[in-house]
A and B are shown apart, each in its own frame.
Chain A
Amino acid sequence: MKVSSIPSLRSKLLATLSAFVIAGAMQLTPHSTAEDAGNLYNTAVDIRMGERYFERQCSRCHGFDATGNDEAGGPNLTGRLRNASTDVGIFNVIRNGVQGTAMLPVAPDVPDATVWQLVAYIDSLRYDPSSVVLDGDADRGASLFTGKGDCTSCHMVNGAGGRMGPDLSRIGEDNTPEDLLIAMTNPHEEVAPRWWTVRVTGPDGEQREGFRMGEDSFALRIMDQDENLWSFRKSQVQNYQRVEASTMPSYEGELSDSELDDLVAYLFSLRREVLSQ
């Protein structure tokens, strides 16, 4: 993590910053909905202050690294946000809460400047994809995707392609180019439980194998290689086995480095249109 481990230095810095924050807050209209041009609190120091505040006040529900929390139901804030698409929108969600949900407003005495620093931190978790310069060429990548790479036999993009892997229509939204490269060269690195394999011998004695579409305390649901959907009660199956690995082959060595770069560029371009900030 990015946090300094020299407490005395940090407290001094904090004291200086607090004075700055208070001064800053006084210049702003209290609880402004901030229709002005944008976030004035977006320096590296603001981002760090926002991160500290986030860890302390927000992480219980949104996770220590803002990737969400199944326990508390707080959504992941590192990708596209559900209730806001601009800095002002994020500000308003933090300031006012989201009606009818567990997202409560911050306390009224929290200065606007602190809220803006939080906005800056949340912004820092995402980035403007147009600012990312990649070596590869997205058009060549698209050709590889449908051609030599044969990716469409397993993956769908915008409704076309196979069912044996995740839908990649929006894969660029929540993944960095580095993530995408690792997913192709080392697909076993991180496999979502949805893409684990289950081998199950049903009450009819027949063994079936397929993607783990759903597993809960009492039942299993799989899709086999012929794309049939099967549902089993665990109490009725003879046995079952979980394989927590990916069925995707590694493309390391199968494609050249520049071809992989092209595919990364194509995959990274797969996203919904970004609303202008």
Chain B
Amino acid sequence: MKRIICTVLGLACLNPLFAQEDQFSTVITPAFSPITWERLVDARNEPNNWLMYSGTLDSQRYSLLDQINTDNVDQLEMKWAYQIPVIDRAETVPLVVDGIMFITEAPSNVVAVDARTGREYWRYDHEMPDDLRICCGRNNRGVAILGETLFMSTLDAHLVAIDARTGNLLWDVEVAPYDSGYSKTAAPLIVKDKVVTGIAGGEFGIRGFIDAYDPATGELEWRQYVIPGPGEFGNDTWSDDSWKTGGAATWITGSYDPELNQIYWGTGNPGPDWNGDVRLGDNLYSDSVVALDGDTGELEWYFQFTPHDVHDYDSIQIPILADIEIDGEEVPAMLWANRNGFFYTLDRRNGQFLFGKPFASVTWAEGLDPVTGAPIRVPGMAPTYEGIMVSPPIVGATNWYSPGYSQDTGLFYVTSFDGEQEFFKRDEDYEEGERFTGGGGRYTQPMDAFHSAIRAIDPTTAEIEWEFPIMPRSSAGITTTAGGLVFTGSADGYFFALDAETGRELWNISLGRRVHAAPMTFSIDGEQYVTIASGNVVYTFGLDD
């Protein structure tokens, strides 16, 4: 090593002072070893790495790292920043594998950097047509890894496989035709020997599905539509042919339980979003969580949070799987704070509703049926041509941003918004590749007049244990650690840490631009780091050396 440095630095080797190896800030990053399925199953016990979008297959976003903790988090300092060259808003959650970080960028690019310095190894720029059909900006949220291959969704609705050591493209398959309204933004999920991935396009009259691909070839292994076809159970919950254009996009990443061999995935709004007249019925399986067989993709159970939704309350939240004690019995539960304003605890073996309560301002329903969990609707809250005020607003009480769960406190953490909006209905005919939303919404007050908070919910009671108020409206995700911390961000550009037990503010830093992503944490050589995207920059923090 010393010889290589001397060759590179030439003259410096003449000076005995510089010949000391420890005088150089040379970073030696280990070549990573391939990521096996067993490593992914056991990802929590490899906390130096962040191996998938939600950290672990149960999506708790709970890290066992505790070097940064409640006692020293106020000493965090910035270690490096990486500037994304394409200006948009970053929603990326990077992966870290043995010291190498993989960051996705707008529109659908990946860069690999040294996780200790932020300096680039390689980049992959995905070529795309310029007439994309995207509802909400040029976003990409992250990659998945298996073996030595990265898998990424692209805005033109392709799935690509990229060599993790070089950035070379291995294969590129069309998941669905982009010009019919399909797109892809979410990180795929590896399940055993398959790449499982969803689809976006719920504002374009698509028919949602979940796919599994062969990681070696990109061949489609199975496809599970989340809107049943003719003759299948649930098809009659769509009037006439409305199932064909019913949306139910699957635009965020799901979770997996290895013991039950079930994949859990949220589904989006039925289409058109705000005009339910043309799709009478419950509209299965929109606004639901579906449980699929981990090998075949067959539907095992579903739970529909919002039947016949007319407010765009996608159930595009990440299913948090946690075993919690209810009435003295340990229950394999699924914890879900929904865009519709209610928090749910479900039994993930069978989708049975255990209990639920509002966790934010809700006016469209007065509560949940204690047996079925179905919403008890307030009459007259459907959008009208003239407009009607409803809470939560279209963006929801929460949305796609990752919630978190701490195994130490047993609390569930979610970014929540107490807003309201006027909802409008419009008549629209479906045209392939065109927006198909049937209305929209309008705020009648300045955003600053509303209230937002990070809320900690006890999943054994659905009660809010504490809240930390922030300015509206955060779209940051949450990560918890064994250091007793909750890391998250805010729309006004802060990155901050709270005490997971009490919600007390422990540390914050202004990063200057909206935090629109979830933090992640990793370590190299025993040094813990925490990374967050803000604006178009990815920042990494650590303790003083």
A and B interact: yes
Total chain B interface residues with beta-carbon distance under 8 A? 47
Please tell me if the beta carbons of A55 and B137 are within 8 angstroms of each other in the complex: no
Expressed in whole angstroms, the Cα–Cα distance for A100 and B84 within the complex equals: 13
* A63 contacts the other chain (CB 8 A): yes
- CB 8 Å contact bits of B431-456 with A (1 = contact, 0 = none): 00111010111100011110000000
CA A44 to CA B490, docked complex, whole Å: 44
Give Cα distance in the complex from A247 to B88, angstroms: 38
Stretch of B168-176, B326-334, B361-369, B422-430 contacting A (4+ beta carbons < 8 Å): B422-430
Binding site for A on B (CB under 8 A): 87-89, 130-138, 179, 203, 385-387, 395, 424, 426-429, 433-435, 437, 439-442, 446-449, 469-471, 473, 490, 492-494, 496, 505, 508, 510
**CB distance A64 to B449 under 8 Å?**
no
Residues of B within 8 A of A11 (CB): 427, 429
- Chain B residues whose C-beta falls within 8 Å of the C-beta of A1 in the assembled complex: 385-387, 424
Known: A56-B428, A71-B395, A105-B131. A217 touches B434 (CB 8 A): no
* Given A1-B386, A216-B494, A7-B427 contact (CB < 8 Å): yes
- Closest chain B residue to A217 by CB distance? B470
Is the Cβ of B442 less than 8 Å from the Cβ of A65? yes
Determine how close the nearest CB of chain A comes to the CB of B233; give it in whole angstroms: 32
Using A56-B426, A56-B435, A217-B492 as known contacts, say yes or no to A193 and B131 having CB atoms under 8 A apart. Answer: no
Question: Which residue of the partner chain, among A64, A104, A107, A192, contacts B440 with CB atoms under 8 Å?
Answer: A64
What residues of chain B lie closer than 8 Å to A104, measured between beta carbons?
A: 130-132, 134
- Chain B residue at minimum C-beta to C-beta distance from A106: B131
CB pair B136–A3 under 8 Å, yes or no, is no
Q: Which of B88, B424, B505 contacts A102 (CB 8 A)?
A: B88
A107 in contact with B442 (CB, 8 Å): no
**A102–B179 Cα gap in the complex (Å)?**
18
**A211 to chain B: closest CB distance in Å?**
13
A225 on the interface (CB 8 Å rule)? Answer: no
User: How many angstroms between the C-alpha atoms of A217 and B395 in the bound complex?
Assistant: 20
Contacts of B505 in A (CB 8 A): 218, 235
The answer to whether A244 and B449 touch (CB under 8 A), given A3-B385, A60-B203, is yes
Nearest residue (CB) in A for B473 is: A71
| Contact sample, A vs B, 23 pairs, CB 8 Å cutoff | A1-B387, A3-B385, A56-B428, A60-B135, A60-B435, A60-B437, A64-B441, A71-B395, A73-B89, A73-B137, A100-B87, A102-B88, A102-B138, A105-B130, A107-B131, A107-B133, A107-B179, A107-B433, A193-B446, A216-B471, A216-B510, A217-B496, A244-B449
Asked if B448 and A193 sit within 8 Å, CB to CB, the answer is yes
With A52-B426, A216-B494 already in contact, 18 other A-B pairs whose C-beta atoms are closer than 8 Å: A3-B385, A7-B427, A55-B426, A64-B424, A64-B440, A73-B89, A73-B137, A102-B88, A102-B138, A107-B179, A192-B446, A215-B448, A215-B471, A216-B471, A216-B490, A217-B469, A217-B508, A218-B508
Closest chain B residue to A100, Cβ basis: B87
Q: Is the CB of B424 within 8 A of A217?
A: no
